[in-house]
């Protein structure tokens, strides 16, 4: 039925099966939209947020998804920016389109959820109009908006390459021309992304009256600024690779060469190792130098569900362990270890975002204050799941109708 829209030389599942999958995703998205609309109409009292937990599931999900979407800018930076100097990075060209799509959905999805997070959504534009240059959130608002625009620009040529659309000569010329200048957008996106990934870390790190989150740093930027950049680039491409692998399993096709995965594994291994060294140094400084100055010790930050297991899981099991696996050429040869390490890596960065958002405010600061536990309501869970379903929807549509993988035809002959 939709054969005319499917790229030449590739096979896709039947239209009814695809429609069924899309219907499931639309169902989840509809559920999330209904929940989101209820929040907009009836206000944030529907959520599990309160005066103790000003930030909750929306922010955590946004931070995590934005970090994982970093595969777009960082892969673009490696491919468009560095591959001239390091030819082996040209391999990333085989997955770069998917990286752009993943980045596009992550950022646009995050922006949609962000709208629910503010108590006065109609005043969202005040962030641009009354911008406070001292606020890390202002940096976030500006950089994410600009980068989302860059991602739209990067996504458009992929749409224009659709078989039917590219039959139109002006569209084909536009797509070709946009591809020619894509390096400029990729590098612009890289610049913006470094800043907003960092400023998301800065949001927590500058809170000097919150000992759990506060970090000293360089000039106006706390160490979390740099750690967030590093953690994003050491997990984003892994997320893209994991999605690609999931698509291969679902479609039962080979979409990229094995060498691409191993290259990403090697890059991520190096970056994650570097990040872990700095993260461990930061954790040690925070626990044994900064916290005692505030009259606190490491164990004061952990209690009940927010126990030390979070630190062990984030830094040990989902940090050091995948780093050790990924820097080993032998381990990268094993699919189980390679993709297992990717999975641990992205779980680790997600825990980090949770910890720096929710646990940071769950920990009492005043000695007579009490620990509180945050439980998100269905009105928070549904929009977050809808955001993930939206990501899956756009990726599914992009895979079916756009030439995402240049090697797909050859690999499946």
Partner 1 sequence: MSEKGHAQSNIRLGMVIDLDKCTGCGACSAACQAENNISFRPDESNKLRSISWMYIYQLDNKKDYPDYKIAYLPRPCMHCDADHHSPCTFVCPVNATTRDENNGIVTHIYPRCIGCRYCMVACPYHARSFNWWDPTWPKPMTSMLSPEVSPRMRGVVEKCTFCHHRYNKARAKAYVDGTDPNKATYNPACADACPTKAITFGNLLDEKSEVAKLSKDPRAFRVLEKLQTKPKVYYLSKQDWIRNLADNSLT
Question: Residue 256 Cβ, how far from partner 1 at the closest point, in Å?
Answer: 40
Minimum distance from CB of 309 to partner 1 (Å)?
A: 23
Angle subtended at Cα 73 by Cα 72 and Cα 79, rounded to the nearest 5 degrees: 90
Output 117 or 161, the one with its CB closest to partner 1: 117
- Provide the minimum distance between the beta carbon of 137 and partner 1 in the complex, in angstroms, as a whole number: 4
Q: Are 257 and 89 in contact (CB under 8 A)?
A: no
304 is a contact residue toward partner 1 (CB under 8 A): no
Q: How many angstroms separate the CA atoms of 263 and 240, rounded? A: 13
What is the DSSP code (8-state) at residue 164? Answer: T
Q: How far apart are CA 397 and CA 391, in angstroms?
A: 10
Determine if 55 is a binding residue for partner 1 (CB under 8 A): yes
**In which element (H, E) is residue 332 found?**
helix 329-333
Which one of 284, 297, 333, 334 is in contact with partner 1 (CB under 8 A)? Answer: 297
| Range in contact with partner 1 (rule: CB under 8 A) among 66-74, 104-112, 135-143, 276-284 | 135-143
Residue 294, interface with partner 1 (CB under 8 A)? yes
Q: Roughly how many angstroms between the first and final C-alpha of the chain, as a whole number?
A: 24
**Options 66-74, 130-138, 161-169, 397-405: segment touching partner 1 (CB under 8 A):** 130-138
Q: Which stretch binds partner 1 (CB under 8 A): 97-105, 174-182, 291-299, 375-383?
A: 291-299
Is the Cβ of residue 256 or residue 361 nearer to partner 1 in the bound state?
Answer: 361
Q: How far is the CB of 116 from partner 1 (least distance, A)?
A: 11
Kindly write down the DSSP assignment for every residue of 167-219, as one continuous string. Answer: GSHHHHHHHHHHHHTHHHHHHHHHHHHHHHHHHHHHHHHT-TT-TTT---EET
Residues 368-387 that bind partner 1 (CB under 8 A): 368-369, 372
Does 252 engage in binding with partner 1 (CB under 8 A)? no
**8 A C-beta contact, residue 243 and residue 235:** no
What does the per-residue mask of binding to partner 1 show for 212-251, with x meaning CB under 8 A?
----------------------------------------
Q: Does 43 bind partner 1 (CB under 8 A)?
A: yes
Q: Is 306 helix (H, G, I), strand (E, B) or coil?
A: strand
Stretch that binds partner 1, among 16-24, 47-55, 92-100, 155-163 (CB under 8 A): 47-55
Q: Is 209 in the site for partner 1 (CB under 8 A)?
A: yes
Please report which helix (H) or strand (E) contains residue 388, including its range.
helix 378-401
> Residue 82: how many CB atoms within 10 A of its CB?
12
- As a whole number of angstroms, the distance between CA 203 and CA 361 comes to 13
Tell me if 365 contacts partner 1 by CB under 8 A: yes
Sequence-separated (6 or more) residues with CB below 8 Å from residue 359: 212, 301, 306, 310
> By the criterion CB under 8 A, which residues form the site for partner 1?
43-45, 49-52, 54-55, 117-120, 123-124, 126-127, 129-132, 134-138, 141, 203, 206-211, 292-297, 300, 360-361, 365-369, 372
């Amino acid at each position: 039925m939709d054969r005319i829209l499917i790229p030449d030389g590739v096979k896709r599942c039947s239209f009814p099966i695809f429609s069924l999958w899309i219907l499931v995703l639309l169902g989840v998205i509809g559920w999330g939209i209904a929940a989101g609309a209820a929040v907009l109409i009836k206000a944030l009292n529907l959520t599990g947020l309160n005066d103790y937990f000003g930030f909750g599931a929306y922010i955590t999900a946004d931070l995590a998804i934005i970090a994982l979407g970093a595969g777009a800018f960082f892969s673009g930076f490696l491919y468009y920016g560095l591959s001239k100097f390091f030819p082996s990075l040209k391999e990333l060209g085989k997955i770069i389109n998917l990286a752009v799509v993943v980045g596009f959905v992550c950022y646009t999805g995050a922006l949609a959820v962000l709208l629910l997070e503010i108590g006065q959504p109609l005043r969202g534009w005040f962030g641009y109009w009354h911008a406070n240059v001292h606020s890390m959130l202002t940096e976030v608002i500006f950089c994410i908006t600009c980068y989302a625009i860059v991602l739209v620009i990067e996504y458009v040529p992929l749409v224009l390459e659709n078989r039917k659309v590219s039959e139109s000569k002006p569209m084909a010329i536009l797509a070709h021309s946009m591809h020619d200048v894509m390096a400029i957008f990729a590098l612009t996106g890289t610049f913006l992304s470094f800043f907003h990934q960092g400023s998301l870390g800065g949001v927590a790190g500058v809170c000097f009256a919150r000992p759990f989150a506060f970090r000293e740093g360089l000039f106006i930027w706390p160490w979390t600024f740099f750690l967030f950049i590093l953690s994003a680039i050491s997990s984003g491409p892994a997320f893209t690779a994991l999605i690609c692998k999931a698509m291969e399993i679902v479609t039962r096709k080979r979409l990229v060469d094995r060498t691409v995965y191993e290259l990403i594994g090697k890059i991520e291994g190096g970056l994650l190792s570097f990040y872990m060294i700095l993260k461990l140094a930061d954790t040690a400084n925070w626990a044994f130098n900064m916290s005692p100055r505030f009259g606190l010790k490491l164990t004061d930050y952990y209690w009940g569900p927010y126990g030390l297991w979070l630190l062990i899981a984030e830094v040990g099991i989902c940090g050091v362990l995948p780093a050790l696996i990924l820097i080993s050429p032998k381990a990268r040869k094993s699919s189980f270890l390679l993709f297992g390490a990717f999975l641990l890596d992205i779980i680790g960065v997600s825990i980090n975002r949770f910890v720096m958002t929710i646990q940071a405010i769950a920990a009492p600061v005043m000695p007579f204050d009490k620990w509180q536990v945050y439980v998100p309501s269905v009105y928070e869970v549904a929009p977050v799941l809808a955001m993930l379903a939206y990501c899956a929807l756009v990726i599914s549509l992009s895979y079916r109708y756009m030439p995402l993988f240049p090697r797909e035809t050859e690999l499946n002959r």
